[in-house]
Amino acid sequence: MKCLLSTLILTPWVGTLLLALTPRLSPKVSRSVALLFSLSTLGFAALAWSGFDPAAPGYQFVEQHAWIKLLNVSYHLGLDGMSLALVALTGLIAPTALLASWKLERDPRLFNLLFLFLQGAALGVFLALNFFPWFICWELSLVPAFFLIKLWGGPGASRAAYQFVVYTIGGSAFMLLAFAALFAATGTFDFVELAALARDGGLASAIPAPALGAIFLGVLLGLAVKVPLFPFHTWLPSAYSEAPTGASMFLTGIMSKMGVYGFLRILWPLFPAQLHAAAPVLLALALAGVVLGAFAAMAQTDLKRMVAYSSINHVSYCLLALFAVAGASSLNADASTAALSGALLQMFNHGLSASALFFCVGILENRSGGKRGLLDFGGVRTAAPVFAGFCGVALFSSLGLPGLNGFVGEFLVFRGVFGLAPWTAAIGCLGLFATAFFLLTFWQRVFHGPQSPAVAAGFRDLSTQEIVTLVPTVTLMFVLGVYPQLLVSLFNPLVTAWAVHLP
């Protein structure tokens, strides 16, 4: 248990190395090996969960070793309720995404290798508590993602991959600069130390306010592109829609969470005053993401783009909650707790439902020979009732139907935001409406009505392996919808404390 977190991060990378060193592995074996290494995260996450005490303050399973003495860089890992939830989500989505790519024909070894690499990097982002290792993982995740999109993606994949990487790196560059400045002023890269400095005013006294504002903007830019926050989102629809199914699942399920996680772990604790000052603007941007994201999805005829836009809408809920809390002018602990719990739940729930939706769209694309237009399908429910059932659950989960997971998070977000910024919540309801509208349009066009030629030509129902892929996520959708305590218990003490004073 002593270096559990390192093991957690390194195991997928060991898998990468293993696959890299055995070029002649048969596709079947390489898939199984990759799946096994990918599943290890779930196992270790369960181990961490069993040893985790939600009520204890601070980080747990901490590992801290000096690394680069000259720069005061340390190898600092730690875990709290939020990271644990996200690690568990990674452990769930990554194997699912690998299973979803099981039938991949082109060089499965390389695909799996890159995928495991990506998984390890994502875990590193969720666990690192020092900017240095954190940023390494943050940037490392781009490399495999780039190749996954470019090499296995659709017709416009090259362009989408370039756009994705350049855009994200562009944002990260500002963040790197900002942290370099922060280091120059404080002499530390450690998030915990920096947060403590920010709390006791050391940061504000070490750096003049305009400079601190600029640093804040730099970090904000890096994170905003990753999430993405409106209007930095235009890379997302093309990247998500051109990526292969498995990569889309991981991108939307995990990588968009990296940004939100950064907001909660870095931006808010380090720059509370700046965030408070910028909150009205940011709140408006998040609101634009909620409403315009949903309405833009309504205008899409490409199913993958539609689901991608719904992702923008859903992730914006998390940011809406955070900005409402950070910008609150008076203390409303109930509302803040609800908003933050909602944001964390929404992160997890969106990971589940969006990745399931991408998988379903991937199946549609796969079965019809690459078609993914809204009007290419019709009557799928008669041809594939089981598939329709699973996809329906995912759609309604994404729509926020009570009884499924999406509702609890969205309700709590709205409950909190309403208490802190009522008009924002009221306008945000338009997003809920538009989401229902386009998801039902999706459902009606694709599954109902007479069968389209593409479907009538022989649309197979789900294979056993595909059912196995979907069952865990769909089961969790029900479980978390009925019994959210399972997840909430992890981070409730954390959130309760945040609502009163900053993390």
Partner 1 sequence: MTLPVQLLWLIPALPLLVAGIGALTRHRGVALAAIFAMAGSFALSCLALAGALQDPSVHATYNFAWFDLGHGALRLGFLLDPLTALMTTMVTFVGTLIFIFSLGYMKEDKNFSRFFCFLSLFAAAMLGLLVANSLLLLFVCWELVGLASYLLIGFWFHKPSAAAAAKKAFITTRIGDLGFLLGLLWLADSTGSLLFYDGGQGVLEATALASLSGQTLACGLALSTAIGLLIFCGAVGKSGQFPLHVWLPDAMEGPTPVSALIHAATMVAAGVFLVARVYPLMSADALLAAVPVHALTVVAFIGAITALMGALIACAQNDIKRILAFSTVSQLGYMMLALGVGSSTAAIFHLLTHAFFKALLFLGAGSVIHAAHHEQDIRQLGGLRTKMKVTFATFAIGMMALSGVPFLFSGFWSKEAILHAAHEWDVSHLPLYAGLCAVVLTAFYMTRLVAETFFGKPRSHGAEHAHENSAVMTAPLVILAVCAVLLGFLGTPYWPWLQKTLDPHYEATHGGLGLMLLSIGLVGAGLGLGWALYGRKLRTTAAARDPLDTAAPAVMAVLADRLGFDELYAATVGRLNSATAAFADFLDRYVIGGLVTFLAQLGIFSGGVNRQVDEANLNGGFDAVSESVRGSGLFYSRKQTGETHGYLRVVAVAFVLLALVLALGGVR
437 binds partner 1 (CB under 8 A): yes
463 binds partner 1 (CB under 8 A): no
475 binds partner 1 (CB under 8 A): no
| Alpha helix stretches (DSSP H) within 22-155 | 27-51, 81-100, 108-127, 131-140, 142-152
440 binds partner 1 (CB under 8 A): yes
Among 298, 374, 467, 502, binds partner 1 (CB under 8 A): 298
Q: Which stretch binds partner 1 (CB under 8 A): 130-138, 346-354, 356-364, 409-417?
A: 409-417
Minimum distance of partner 1 from residue 50's CB (angstroms): 19
* Nearer of residues 319 and 434 to partner 1, judged by Cβ: 434
453 binds partner 1 (CB under 8 A): no
239 binds partner 1 (CB under 8 A): no
Contacts of 501 (CB under 8 A, 6+ apart): none
Residues 300-339 that bind partner 1 (CB under 8 A): 300, 333-335, 337-338
* Nearer of residues 99 and 490 to partner 1, judged by Cβ: 490
Cα–Cα distance measured from residue 28 to residue 162, given in angstroms and rounded to the nearest whole number: 31
Cα–Cα distance measured from residue 266 to residue 322, given in angstroms and rounded to the nearest whole number: 13
Cα–Cα distance measured from residue 77 to residue 63, given in angstroms and rounded to the nearest whole number: 5
Residue 38: strand, helix, or coil: helix
423 binds partner 1 (CB under 8 A): no
The interface mask with partner 1, positions 362-381, x = CB under 8 A, is -----------------x-x
341 binds partner 1 (CB under 8 A): yes
Determine the angle formed by the axes of helices 422-447 and 303-326, rounding to 10 degrees: 160
Contacts of 201 (CB under 8 A, 6+ apart): none
Among 95, 253, 327, 484, binds partner 1 (CB under 8 A): 484
Alpha carbon separation from 384 to 179, 443, 451, 473 (Å, rounded):
52, 13, 11, 19
Question: 223: part of which helix (H) or strand (E)?
Answer: helix 209-226
Q: Which stretch binds partner 1 (CB under 8 A): 29-37, 41-49, 185-193, 398-406?
A: 398-406
* Nearer of residues 364 and 499 to partner 1, judged by Cβ: 499
284 binds partner 1 (CB under 8 A): no
* Nearer of residues 48 and 229 to partner 1, judged by Cβ: 229
Two tokens, residue 259? 């940004």
From the number of C-beta atoms within 10 Å of its C-beta (0-12, 13-18, 19+), residue 270 rates as buried
Sole residue written with tokens 């590193």: 124
Alpha carbon separation from 327 to 200, 218, 323, 330, 343 (Å, rounded):
20, 19, 6, 9, 15
Contacts of 413 (CB under 8 A, 6+ apart): 317, 318, 320, 321, 338, 339, 342, 343, 346
Residues 67-96 that bind partner 1 (CB under 8 A): none
* Nearer of residues 199 and 448 to partner 1, judged by Cβ: 448
Question: Where along the sequence are the contacts to partner 1 (CB under 8 A)?
Answer: 166-167, 231, 233-235, 237, 291-293, 295-296, 298-300, 333-335, 337-338, 341, 379, 381-382, 389, 396, 401-403, 407-408, 411-412, 414-415, 418-419, 422, 425-426, 429, 432-434, 436-437, 440-441, 444, 447-450, 483-485, 488-489, 492, 495-496, 499
